[in-house]
Structure 1
């Protein structure tokens, strides 16, 4: 506070210092100063003050021009002006927030509307007798379903704090449910799935945790070649459970690893050759942060990628959410 005051009034403080130094100089230099009248001192001081005021006026002239028609003093007028600007900015912010909510609701409505033709496509798919065509249609239906699901969760992400229910969740049930949704993709690419040590229970939101697993499985399938393996398992370290999703696909270049969680970042090597949007891992990171999970990636080009999802220790979780 003191430093701010000194900076605000430094020019006037400098004037006082200069006047004090000038007085001392006159007393020291002029031996006959005791015979000089007070008019001499007053004239010198007035001259210095007038020069100072002229300099300050030239500096502040542009700033004061806006307020010269107002009756308040300079500082009160600036304060009122700032308050008016603040009110305008707050009103604009509220308007933008309302517009954002409207677009949010419109997007949610659009996603739900798109589910109707997807359901119709699924019914038509069941009536197709040719296996090859049926398989191809199932694959395209799954792609549309996953893209819409990703958009739906991306839209709901802004309200994740109100749209979650933390409870004990069995990891195997969550993983198996997501694998079943993607089984046609597993069959198409003949991917071997290894589920190991998934009997652990964690405190999380089952729906959002399922979304994380779905995104990680989608990436693993997308960047794995036919006949390869995907392994899902857990480890326990210092009381913290970590879920690992491991594939043997193209891998991620070392220079890309620090940036894979950035929005719309698709990376190099084989990843930019696919229909990558750069949204999957970004959404995983956003959801994980909201659920107090730690997500990390280890990868080696041509040797595959492993994503690690570490759950909060139960004691730490209870301390955090009891505050």
Structure 2
């Protein structure tokens, strides 16, 4: 509460009191009172007036500062009327009722938006599960009729399946705790499973895949981790160069197992490295490869945060290394907490 603004608001009260003092002084002088008596009465009036103004200023300031502190501590600030005391002054009660009406309107709107989001999420999940049926059927047809055409078709089907999975995981990423199951898994099984999921894509683009020293046990969710690796494999293929190589390796450091996914592609400019996990960010490479959406790595980061997996990227002009860091001590306790 600003003191200067408070005085400005109190100008009508001050002017009325000054006019009253002038009228009283003229009346007392006309009644034959001495100047000393008149001055004494006016000084007392002024002292009382400014004492009252100071008292109301500090008491009001204390109340409003407390109200501001309460508001700053609230995450949903539209709920302020629920925790503030109902004021006693008539004009303040009007504003209090306005705030209550605004709060009610906001809660109704939030409830409506949440219902719409839930319905849309359920529709997306249902649609994805439905569309997987014809994808699986086409895969079986291709498997039973192998030729160069069906191999190319299988690679495109892997892309379609990846995009549908991306949409599904994006829809679920807000509440992953309802879908994941953390347990002990073999890192090698997840890595080889992700490679198998993308075998036609890798074969179509002549990607050489090497896997070294991934025989570690970690605590994570097999399905979600496999999805993360699918996104990293897809990026490595998307930003490839001639005779691309994709290398998986793992190392144990203190209480962590670090899985590195390294490619020899076009790399990431240093100016873009700090932003590659931002939603929708495509950077300089995204302007070259127009199929970039900026969603894949954003989803990886979001899911890693939910699962307690550290994720980082490095690039030295050519090639990119994405590192996933898994805790191996008290991991389950940390995630469930």
Structure 1 counterpart of 2:36, from 34, 37, 57: 34
Looking at structure 1, the residues matched to 49 and 247 of structure 2 have their Cα atoms a distance apart, in angstroms, of 87
| TM-score, normalised by the number of residues in structure 2 | 0.74
2:191 aligns with 175
2:150 aligns with 134
SS in 1 for 2:252: strand
Residues 199-255 of structure 1 show CA distances to partners (whole Å, capped at 9, x for unaligned) of 111111111111111111111122223532111111222321111000001111111
SS in 2 for 1:314: coil
Whether 2:276 is the aligned partner of 1:260: answer: yes
Whether 2:161 is the aligned partner of 1:145: answer: yes
Looking at structure 1, the residues matched to 216 and 335 of structure 2 have their Cα atoms a distance apart, in angstroms, of 21
Looking at structure 2, the residues matched to 153 and 321 of structure 1 have their Cα atoms a distance apart, in angstroms, of 19
Looking at structure 2, the residues matched to 81 and 163 of structure 1 have their Cα atoms a distance apart, in angstroms, of 42
2:101 aligns with 84
1:104 aligns with 121
SS in 2 for 1:245: strand
RMSD, aligned CA:
3.5
8 A Cα contact 1:228 1:248, kept in partner: yes
Whether 2:337 is the aligned partner of 1:320: answer: no
* Cα distance change of structure 1 residues 34 and 259 upon mapping to structure 2, 3 Å threshold: same
Looking at structure 2, the residues matched to 122 and 82 of structure 1 have their Cα atoms a distance apart, in angstroms, of 59
SS in 2 for 1:214: helix
Cα drift, residue 103 of structure 1: 0.8
Gaps of 5+ in 1: 24-31, 49-70
Whether 2:322 is the aligned partner of 1:307: answer: yes
8 A Cα contact 1:203 1:314, kept in partner: no
1:191 aligns with 207
Alignment of 1:1-323 (within 5 A): 10-11=6-7, 33-36=35-38, 73-128=90-145, 131-269=147-285, 272-301=288-317, 303-315=318-330, 317=331, 320-321=334-335, 323=337
Looking at structure 1, the residues matched to 270 and 285 of structure 2 have their Cα atoms a distance apart, in angstroms, of 11
* Cα distance change of structure 1 residues 111 and 318 upon mapping to structure 2, 3 Å threshold: closer
SS in 2 for 1:304: strand
Looking at structure 1, the residues matched to 324 and 49 of structure 2 have their Cα atoms a distance apart, in angstroms, of 75
Looking at structure 2, the residues matched to 308 and 155 of structure 1 have their Cα atoms a distance apart, in angstroms, of 25
Number of corresponding residues: 284
8 A Cα contact 1:189 1:226, kept in partner: no
8 A Cα contact 2:182 2:332, kept in partner: no
| TM-score, normalised by the number of residues in structure 1 | 0.77
2:77 aligns with none
* Cα distance change of structure 1 residues 270 and 83 upon mapping to structure 2, 3 Å threshold: closer
Looking at structure 2, the residues matched to 305 and 183 of structure 1 have their Cα atoms a distance apart, in angstroms, of 21
Looking at structure 1, the residues matched to 199 and 95 of structure 2 have their Cα atoms a distance apart, in angstroms, of 66
